[in-house]
């Protein structure tokens, strides 16, 4: 989006949405994932193939599901918080980290097209991280995909198709962990939103890293929810020492309010400036 000035008032003008070719040309070093499921490939260019620590460490892959419309600094920050927590408090070794953007069939107002959200994520992680990746599989589905099935997809790609990770000449199973905010975990209590079978599968068979969010009593909810309490040893609560409650929704609303009032307000330091004009409304 560009801006023009008339009578001292800055007005916004829309730029056409970039084509896939234009997105690819923006940074050729960042490989563009396909926009059709038949051409899908699992991104593994940063996935470790060998454990770096001793055999006592348990290999884990961290997965964050969400709209990422747009991706924000907090989305990047929570992975680093999870990494610090794992290094300091667990016997895990991280072998990879993934964002899994939802498909266009996820019923959410203001959701940008999936290929734009995937591309924003790709550019963000390639420019700011050495270990994170974006997987387009969920975004390419023809219907909304339950979180439990998304985790199954990662388990299949990493443990079944690739055999896990090599350690001392043998392949070992990689544990898949869901990374989520306290607000998502509290949605577990919403009637009809999550099935008990899915919750047992997500928390019991895989596991959760939960980042506290402002106003969310994660520990209290963990103790009061029967399924979470049953699998409490598979739930890891990460405390935010410096609270940051920025979200994609807040960024979109801020951007829309400014457009309606014909005001110019930039979103620097809320979301990443990627050098491409992506639609975020």
Residue 2 lies in a domain: no
* Structural domain count, the chain: 1
Residue 272 lies in a domain: no
Residue 12 lies in a domain: no
The pLDDT value recorded for residue 131 is 96
Token pair listed for 5:
């000035």
Asked whether the predicted pLDDT for residue 2 surpasses 90, the reply is no
Residue 280 lies in a domain: no
* Better-scored residue on pLDDT, 199 or 16: 199
CATH of the domain at 221: 3.40.50.620
* Close Cβ partners of 278 (under 8 Å, ≥ 6 residues apart): 17, 18, 70, 112, 116, 119, 120
Residues 234-270: pLDDT tens digits?
A: 999 998 766 555 444 444 444 444 434 444 444 343 4
Residues 43-85: pLDDT tens digits?
A: 999 999 999 877 889 999 999 999 998 888 888 999 999 999 9
* pLDDT averaged over every residue in the chain: 80
162 Rama class: left (phi>0) / alpha (psi -120 to 50) / beta: alpha
Q: Name the pairing type of β-strands 175-181 and 58-66.
A: parallel
Residues 87-138: pLDDT tens digits?
A: 999 999 999 999 999 999 987 778 899 999 999 899 889 888 999 999 999 9
Q: Which domain holds residue 97?
A: 32-247
Residues 212-227: pLDDT tens digits?
A: 876 667 888 888 899 9
Q: Quick check: bond before 70 cis, omega within 30?
A: yes
pTM of the predicted protein model? 0.79
pLDDT band with cut points at 50, 70 and 90 for residue 164:
very high
The pLDDT value recorded for residue 30 is 67
Strand order in the sheet with 235-238: 132-134, 92-101, 58-66, 175-181, 208-211, 235-238
Residue 261 lies in a domain: no
């Amino acid at each position: 989006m560009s801006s023009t000035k008339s009578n001292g008032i800055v007005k916004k003008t829309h730029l056409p949405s970039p084509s896939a070719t234009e997105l690819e040309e923006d940074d050729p070093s960042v490989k563009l994932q396909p926009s059709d499921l038949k051409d899908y490939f699992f991104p593994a260019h940063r996935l470790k193939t060998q454990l770096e620590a001793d055999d006592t460490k348990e290999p884990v892959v961290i997965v964050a599901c969400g709209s990422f419309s747009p991706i924000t600094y907090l989305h990047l920050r929570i992975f680093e918080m999870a990494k610090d927590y794992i290094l300091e408090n667990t016997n895990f070794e991280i072998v990879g980290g993934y964002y899994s953007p939802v498909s266009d069939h996820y019923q959410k107002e203001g959701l940008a097209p999936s290929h734009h959200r995937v591309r924003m994520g790709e550019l963000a992680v390639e420019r700011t991280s050495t270990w994170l990746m974006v997987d387009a599989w969920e975004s390419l589905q023809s219907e909304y995909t339950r979180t439990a099935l998304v985790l199954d997809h990662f388990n299949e790609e990493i443990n079944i198709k690739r055999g896990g990770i090599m350690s001392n000449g043998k392949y070992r199973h990689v544990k898949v962990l869901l990374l989520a905010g306290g607000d998502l975990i509290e949605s577990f209590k919403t009637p009809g939103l999550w099935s008990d079978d899915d919750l047992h599968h997500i928390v019991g068979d895989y596991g959760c890293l939960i980042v506290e969010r402002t106003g969310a009593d994660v520990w209290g909810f963990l103790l009061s929810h029967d399924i979470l309490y049953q699998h409490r040893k598979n739930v890891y609560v990460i405390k935010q020492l410096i609270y940051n409650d920025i979200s994609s929704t807040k960024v979109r609303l801020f951007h829309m309010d400014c457009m309606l009032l014909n005001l110019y307000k930039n979103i620097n330091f809320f979301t990443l400036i990627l050098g491409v004009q992506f639609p975020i409304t």
